[in-house]
Amino acid sequence: MTNLDNACASRPPASPLADAARIVLAGDAGARLLAGPPASQGRETYDQYRARVGALRLEGRDPRELRHTVRASGLLGRGGGGFPAATKFDVAADAPGTPIIVVNASEGEPASRKDQTLLALRPHLVIDGAQWAAHAVGADDIVVYTHRSHVAANAALRAALAERGDLAVRMRIVDAPETYIAGETSAVVSYLDGRGALPSRGVIPAARVGIARRPTVVNNLETLAHLALIARHGAAWFCEVGAPEAPGSTLLTLVGAVRQPGLVVEVVGPATIGEVLATYGGLHDVARAVLLGGYEGTWMSGETAWRAPIERHRLSALGMSLGCGVVAVLGDEVCGLAQTARLVTWLARQSAGQCGPCVLGLPRLSDELDAVVAGRSRRSDLRRLRELATSVRGRGACGHPTGVVALIDSALDTFGAELRRHLRGEVCAPSSALHDFPLPGEDVER
């Protein structure tokens, strides 16, 4: 079954929408996940939510019919992997044991704000999505896996849970380790099983055998918020926006040299990255370069970004990934290689310390890239860097090393002019704008 075997495959072409209707903010007309009060009003209370959406009604809903609706919707996971949500539900429902639902709210990507924003503004949508997921698979336990540093989001969640006397399945909050890889599904399961946030390359999916050997469905928070709406409005409604191959709206976080770093927008109609940045990033001209998909995403030139569609399948055909939805704009005064070297230094420290190519290879890659930026490398050194990257790619128990290599590869391709200058021994002036790409422990407000 492909993701085109859904209700979206046969929908009529969407009518053209004005720019402002295709890309929306919290409270705007046409918003889906962000429908409701504007962000300035903060958390939507249960009274407001119930008046707008209605109360949660699970009784009378056949779990199999619900799973079928999710399958028909074509909902893909929004944590970065783009895995069909229905597949996890089907596996868990058919596996022996009583399933557990994990709401992955850890958002370990330093530049991403979409999950925290959604939880801070629309906690009841997330709660309802988790309850629907539990109903669909017969789960009796829901864990919200979040970081204590997400202060506003966690406060909104606790306040929202205190308002709910109607929950069929109890929900408990677990504080996740604040590391980059702690949100990877196998690391989540490992941590909640008491073994530390250590990723593993298992052949048995967590949805079959997870926490305490029970079927465990780990879903990104945005995915569950979509589920809450699909359960109410149906698959056909969900497919009215997005592409047939990747239906539904998408949340993006705008970062870097934009008007309001950390702003979260919802894309509800066909749009390019350039249109998003022109509408809400405050950019009047094409940016120099954009890093798409987070710090293990891919760099692209501003020209490419301006034309790139915000559609997972079309980006994938171009060798890019929307990942967790981060769109990070490089400032004109910042060297793209210096920014990449800074990110790689941090990423190399995020290794969980259990696989040789990751533990040994990433620091060496970081050193090699630092040498390029410092003007100490020549062409032969660059060859060694590329060979090292090749030897690390695809190794290790998780995708961390491969993600770092993708970042470096795309930087070397995108910043060819800077690379040539550095290989001639030139060095860029230091720029405080490097910190426009936030890293934990620096100037990060979460």
Give min distance, CB of 404 to ligand SF4, in A. Answer: 9
Q: Which residue is nearest to ligand SF4 (CB)?
A: 396
- Residue 95 carries which side chain, given as an amino acid letter? A
Tell me if 199 contacts ligand SF4 by CB under 6 A: yes
Cα–Cα distance measured from residue 120 to residue 200, given in angstroms and rounded to the nearest whole number: 31
Tell me if 80 contacts ligand SF4 by CB under 6 A: no
Give rounded-to-5 percent helix, strand, coil for the chain: 45, 10, 45
Of 267 and 406, nearer to ligand SF4 (C-beta) is 406
Cα–Cα distance measured from residue 98 to residue 92, given in angstroms and rounded to the nearest whole number: 9
Residue 411: name the closest of 265, 312, 288, 286 by CA: 288
Cα–Cα distance measured from residue 223 to residue 327, given in angstroms and rounded to the nearest whole number: 19
Give min distance, CB of 176 to ligand SF4, in A. Answer: 15
Tell me if 165 contacts ligand SF4 by CB under 6 A: no
Size of the site for ligand SF4 (CB under 6 A): 14
Among 13, 353, 430, 441, indicate the residue that binds ligand SF4 (CB under 6 A): 353
Give min distance, CB of 365 to ligand SF4, in A. Answer: 13
Tell me if 400 contacts ligand SF4 by CB under 6 A: yes
- Residue 271 has φ and ψ, to the nearest 5°, of -155, 155
Of 180 and 306, nearer to ligand SF4 (C-beta) is 180
- CB atoms inside a 10 Å sphere around CB 359: 15
Cα angle value 254/80/306 (rounded, 5°):
40
Of 114 and 400, nearer to ligand SF4 (C-beta) is 400
Of 237 and 346, nearer to ligand SF4 (C-beta) is 346
Of 343 and 358, nearer to ligand SF4 (C-beta) is 358
Of 107 and 128, nearer to ligand SF4 (C-beta) is 107
**Per-residue x/- mask for ligand SF4, residues 302 to 341, rule CB under 6 A?**
----------------------------------------
Of 183 and 247, nearer to ligand SF4 (C-beta) is 183
Whether the Cβ atoms of residue 358 and residue 327 lie closer than 8 Å to each other: no
Among 104, 220, 249, 351, indicate the residue that binds ligand SF4 (CB under 6 A): 351
Specify the stretch interacting with ligand SF4 by CB under 6 A; choose among 108-116, 208-216, 345-353, 424-432: 345-353
Specify the stretch interacting with ligand SF4 by CB under 6 A; choose among 61-69, 314-322, 352-360, 431-439: 352-360
Tell me if 358 contacts ligand SF4 by CB under 6 A: yes
Give min distance, CB of 4 to ligand SF4, in A. Answer: 32
Cα–Cα distance measured from residue 271 to residue 239, given in angstroms and rounded to the nearest whole number: 16
Cα–Cα distance measured from residue 300 to residue 394, given in angstroms and rounded to the nearest whole number: 22
Beta bridge partners of 217: 101
Give min distance, CB of 202 to ligand SF4, in A. Answer: 12
The kind and range of the H/E element at 304 are: helix 302-307
Cα–Cα distance measured from residue 166 to residue 164, given in angstroms and rounded to the nearest whole number: 5
In order of 67, 220, 222, 300, the CA distances from 127 in angstroms are 18, 12, 11, 37
Of 195 and 420, nearer to ligand SF4 (C-beta) is 195
Specify the stretch interacting with ligand SF4 by CB under 6 A; choose among 56-64, 78-86, 259-267, 353-361: 353-361
Of 122 and 393, nearer to ligand SF4 (C-beta) is 393
| Pair type for strands 100-105 and 216-220 | parallel
Among 334, 352, 385, 388, indicate the residue that binds ligand SF4 (CB under 6 A): 352
Give min distance, CB of 215 to ligand SF4, in A. Answer: 23
Residue 122: name the closest of 159, 85, 150 by CA: 159
Residue 242: name the closest of 266, 218, 216, 211 by CA: 266
Residue 410: name the closest of 346, 350, 336 by CA: 336
CA torsion 318-321-326-328 (nearest 10°) is -40
| Pair type for strands 246-247 and 242-243 | antiparallel
Give the start-end residues of each E strand in 303-423.
326-329
**Per-residue x/- mask for ligand SF4, residues 173 to 192, rule CB under 6 A?**
--------x-----------
Among 123, 274, 396, 438, indicate the residue that binds ligand SF4 (CB under 6 A): 396
Q: Which residues bind ligand SF4 (CB under 6 A)?
A: 181, 199, 351-355, 358-359, 396-398, 400-401
